[in-house]
């Protein structure tokens, strides 16, 4: 079985081909560096994503993201918890908005503050 996708670990964007053999072993082709091999194997066996979004608050809008990538299958659960969590104070960049979101061992951290509602 073959999987084709682009490596997103750096701006070069190598086109990867990951071959999965009958014994389950994986071979990554097209990568220019070891990070691409690691990414290719993880994308096939355990895909993960950084979740980024903005949240409207009565204090303005905050930009937020997970501090580590979460399993792709949890992406929308994380967005739902972000949506349902009330903002009760003003945050500053670097603050943790939600600790261990959806028990993923990832925190939602503030990456930007916008005084106006965007
Ligand atoms: S394989 Fe290496 S060089 Fe290519 S996009 Fe991924 S990180 Fe960048």
Q: How far is CA 106 from CA 24, 65, 82, 90, 98, in A?
A: 29, 10, 13, 21, 9
Kindly state the tokens that stand for 89: 């104070």
For residues 97-114, average pLDDT: 96
Over range 36-48, report the average pLDDT: 96
Residues 95, 57, single domain; the answer is: yes
Are 32 and 63 within one domain? Answer: no
pLDDT the model gives residue 116: 67
The number of folded domains in the chain is: 2
Residue numbers of the domain that contains 81:
52-114
| Range of weakest confidence among 8-12, 62-66, 68-72, 88-92 | 88-92
Are 17 and 27 in contact by the 8 Å Cβ rule? The answer is no
Instruction: Please indicate whether residue 6, judged by its CB atom, sits closer than 6 Å to ligand 1.
Output: no
CA 70 – ligand 1 centroid, Å: 21
Segment 89-95 mean pLDDT: 94
pTM, full prediction: 0.81
Domain CATH code at residue 95: 3.10.530
Whether the CB of 31 sits within 6 Å of ligand 1: yes
């Amino acid at each position: 079985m073959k999987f084709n996708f682009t490596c997103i670990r750096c701006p070069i964007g190598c086109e990867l081909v990951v071959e999965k053999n009958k014994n389950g072993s994986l071979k990554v082709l097209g990568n220019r560096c070891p990070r691409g091999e690691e990414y290719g194997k993880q994308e096939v066996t355990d895909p993960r994503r950084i979740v980024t979004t903005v949240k409207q608050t009565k204090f303005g809008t905050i930009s937020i993201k997970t501090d580590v990538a979460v399993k792709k299958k949890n992406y929308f659960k994380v967005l739902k918890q972000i949506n349902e969590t009330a903002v009760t104070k003003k945050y500053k960049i670097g603050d943790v908005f939600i600790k261990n979101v959806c028990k993923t061992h990832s925190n939602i951290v503030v990456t930007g503050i916008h005084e106006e509602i965007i």
